[in-house]
A and B are shown apart, each in its own frame.
Chain A
Amino acid sequence: MTAPTYDLGKLHGGLRLPAHKRESTTELIKVVPIPSRLVLPIEQHVGSPAQPVVGVGDRVLKGQLVATPDGEFSAPVHASSSGTVTAIEQWPVSRRFGETAPCIVIECDGKDRAGPVAAAGDYRKLDPAKLLQRILDGGIVGLGGAVFPTAQKLMQARTCEIDYLVLNGVECEPYISCDDVLMRECAAEILSGAQILMHALQVNACLLAVESDKPEALLRLGRVLAELGDERIVLKQVPSVYPSGGEDQLVQLVTGREVPSGGLPTDAGCVVQNVGTAAAVHDWIVNNEPLISRVTTVTGDGVNTPVNIRARIGTPVQDLIAFAGGYTDRATHLIIGGPMTGKSVNTDEVPLVKASNCILAVSGAPGAGDELPCIRCGECALVCPVRLLPQQLLWHARADDDKKLRDFGLTDCIECGCCDLVCPSHIPLTADFRRAKGRIRELADEKARADRAKRRFEARSRRLEQEHQERAAELARQKSSAKTAGPAAIAEILKRKQKKGESE
């Protein structure tokens, strides 16, 4: 096997959190049967929502396009199984607490008939631009939880100078283990996906980063990599510290390069993709199966048998909970995503979406406690992975002091929640920062609007002024020419007319 390398950059702060991963990793990935009903939100990605291309009553086949991308940043949605579209309506989703969003509801016929898909052929012979278009058509988005459309991310990266493709197998958030089991069971698919992504990006170096608390995954990837014999791919082991799986943090860990403030990993010559995304790219490019299913972790002390499952996108969460043995008596909170960055939901009718890497049922809200005044202990600054000063930011966020917030780098906050967790006064710092960020964004939009209006107004004023001057100049010219050349000009015109008459 290929041994992982350890030459790593440094990560400031971070936390070693209780992992809670063993509960769900004792067994192999289980495949959930096709549900009776699929709910497909048309917005399962960052960017503008897709536009439905099917109507109520239409019969759809597995893998058929049901919503097409709309706008620069968007991704298509495919039917996860065959059946009939029964409604396109508002349905509870997990994006925000209590929110509903337009969804395509499909009543499945259970036959799971696949529609015809045009094969891509050998990707190595494809032009990278065509390959990117093909990736876009597969509805593939970042499966680490951020769901940025993969094709657009790669297209953006193609405009920059890229040295490394970084594959993110660092599942640093507690409870989540879907990438871990995916790496154990689908190592070959992940590595094949890495090769496809390298071809699409035209880079010759891939760093596959895996956390040190996943020995089985490391072993398996190392074996498959040795069999594959692709020297471009290097396995990297990173320490299991939360949030080492954040894009910018991971780039710093594996390359020692720091992503600049307000920049992207591409500014450090890297493109980061989740291992699940790489496997999805392989499934689409090689096996012609669009992103219609994903591996997710159903866990927490609120479910009877925590397990990793492969389920169709759109399966209601209640079906998945039932598959994992149902709720225990202690279950009080349902969270989609991990305990640090996930979203709490008020109903288990929400569907599994491309972003759902974990379904967490727990007995108590984590970190709950009465808020006390800040005692300026500085613990939050010690753990902040971006080296911010949360205690100062809190001060300025509550005072709405935008300039100070900018000076103290609020926009670089990755909302990892480390500061919340260590705060002895139980201050919900991240929530305050999130609010302040939203407000600053709104203000910036307003300012941009005002600036545009000002420019348009000034341009119009200049134009009116110019028109006025031109009119005045023309009038003056006519006046002066009439005065000075009056009789002579008239004689000239008469002469011309006469000439014309003679020639005719």
Chain B
Amino acid sequence: MLTAVLIVASIALVAGLGLAFAYRQLPAADGDLVEQVNDLLPQTQCAQCGYAGCRPYAAAVVDGSAAINLCPPGSDDTIRRLARLLGKDVIPLEQAVVPAVAVIDEAACIGCFHCRNACPVDAIIGAPQFMHTVIESECTGCELCVAPCPVDCITMRPLS
């Protein structure tokens, strides 16, 4: 009887110590969760959610300071996937956007380099004082290059 109690108690003690050690020493699972959330985001790096890019937004979603419906390029699909991953309710998108790519009116471009510096994915090529252009296949449609253009020669063309 006593032996049995001792055996069970010692097993419980060892397991408890093991768990306590794991809890304190091993890296928190949250880091992985941020990565998982980041993987579900569309990686446009557009900052339309109010954060500096997709990863900061993912971190904010995980620590609970941001809602899951702030990503317009991700559309309702992303919200659904985030809700499933995080066990939250599906909520409608704050505001929807149409998928688009940036197009530079090359005749009007003055080669100021501002748009190239703004592009988060290096999808604009060109050198100072020379015409710039957008690599269409790499453009994520984040619109970050539109505002810096001093001659307003960048427009967003919706993808069909």
Q: What is the interface of chain A, defined by CB distance below 8 A to chain B?
A: 446, 449-454, 456-457, 459-460
> Closest chain B residue to A447 by CB distance?
B39
Q: Taking the nearest CB of chain A, how far is it from the CB of B19, in angstroms?
A: 30
Given contacts A456-B138, A457-B53, contact A450 B42 (CB under 8 A): yes
Give bound CA distance, A110 to B122, whole Å: 57
B44 contacts partner chain A, Cβ-Cβ < 8 Å:
yes
Contact with A along B88-124 (1 / 0, CB 8 A): 0000000000000000000000000000000011110
Given contacts A456-B121, A456-B123, A457-B53, contact A450 B41 (CB under 8 A): yes
Residue with the highest number of chain B CB atoms closer than 10 Å, among A446, A451, A452, A457 = A457
Residues A452 and B138 in contact, CB atoms below 8 Å apart:
yes
Residues B122 and A453 in contact, CB atoms below 8 Å apart:
no
Residues B120 and A451 in contact, CB atoms below 8 Å apart:
no
Given contacts A452-B138, A453-B140, contact A460 B43 (CB under 8 A): no
Give bound CA distance, A454 to B42, whole Å: 9
- What are the residues of chain B within 8 A of A453 when measuring CB–CB? 42-45, 121, 138, 140
14 contacts across the A-B interface (CB closer than 8 A): A446-B42, A449-B43, A449-B140, A450-B43, A451-B43, A452-B138, A453-B42, A453-B44, A454-B54, A456-B121, A456-B122, A456-B123, A457-B53, A457-B121
Q: Taking the nearest CB of chain B, how far is it from the CB of A249, in angstroms?
A: 36
- Give how many A-B residue pairs fall within 8 Å (CB-CB): 32
Q: Taking the nearest CB of chain B, how far is it from the CB of A325, in angstroms?
A: 44
> Closest chain A residue to B40 by CB distance?
A450
- What are the residues of chain A within 8 A of B53 when measuring CB–CB? 457
- What are the residues of chain A within 8 A of B140 when measuring CB–CB? 449, 453
Q: Which 9 A-B residue pairs are closest in the complex by CB-CB distance?
A: A453-B43, A450-B43, A456-B121, A454-B43, A453-B140, A457-B45, A453-B121, A460-B122, A450-B42
Main secondary structure of the interface of A (DSSP, over half): helix
Give bound CA distance, A178 to B122, whole Å: 54
11 new A-B contacts, CB < 8 A, other than A450-B41, A457-B45, A457-B54, are: A446-B42, A451-B43, A453-B44, A453-B138, A454-B38, A456-B121, A457-B43, A457-B53, A459-B122, A460-B121, A460-B122
Q: What is the interface of chain B, defined by CB distance below 8 A to chain A?
A: 38, 41-45, 53-54, 120-123, 138, 140
- What are the residues of chain A within 8 A of B54 when measuring CB–CB? 454, 457
- What are the residues of chain B within 8 A of A452 when measuring CB–CB? 138
Give bound CA distance, A357 to B156, whole Å: 45
> Closest chain A residue to B117 by CB distance?
A464
- What are the residues of chain A within 8 A of B38 when measuring CB–CB? 454
Q: Taking the nearest CB of chain A, how far is it from the CB of B80, in angstroms?
A: 10
- What are the residues of chain B within 8 A of A460 when measuring CB–CB? 120-122
- What are the residues of chain A within 8 A of B42 when measuring CB–CB? 446, 450, 453
> Closest chain A residue to B41 by CB distance?
A450
- What are the residues of chain B within 8 A of A456 when measuring CB–CB? 121-123, 138
Residues A457 and B138 in contact, CB atoms below 8 Å apart:
no
Give bound CA distance, A44 to B121, whole Å: 37
- What are the residues of chain A within 8 A of B120 when measuring CB–CB? 457, 460
- What are the residues of chain B within 8 A of A451 when measuring CB–CB? 43
> Closest chain A residue to B53 by CB distance?
A457
Give bound CA distance, A498 to B123, whole Å: 52
Give bound CA distance, A457 to B46, whole Å: 11
Q: Taking the nearest CB of chain A, how far is it from the CB of B53, in angstroms?
A: 7
Give bound CA distance, A421 to B122, whole Å: 52
Q: Taking the nearest CB of chain B, how far is it from the CB of A496, in angstroms?
A: 35
> Closest chain B residue to A456 by CB distance?
B121
- What are the residues of chain B within 8 A of A454 when measuring CB–CB? 38, 43, 54
Give bound CA distance, A453 to B121, whole Å: 6
Give bound CA distance, A245 to B122, whole Å: 48
> Closest chain B residue to A450 by CB distance?
B43
- What are the residues of chain A within 8 A of B123 when measuring CB–CB? 456
Q: Taking the nearest CB of chain B, how far is it from the CB of A468, in angstroms?
A: 13
Give bound CA distance, A452 to B138, whole Å: 8
Q: Taking the nearest CB of chain A, how far is it from the CB of B75, in angstroms?
A: 10
Q: Taking the nearest CB of chain B, how far is it from the CB of A71, in angstroms?
A: 14
Residue with the highest number of chain A CB atoms closer than 10 Å, among B53, B121, B122, B138 = B121
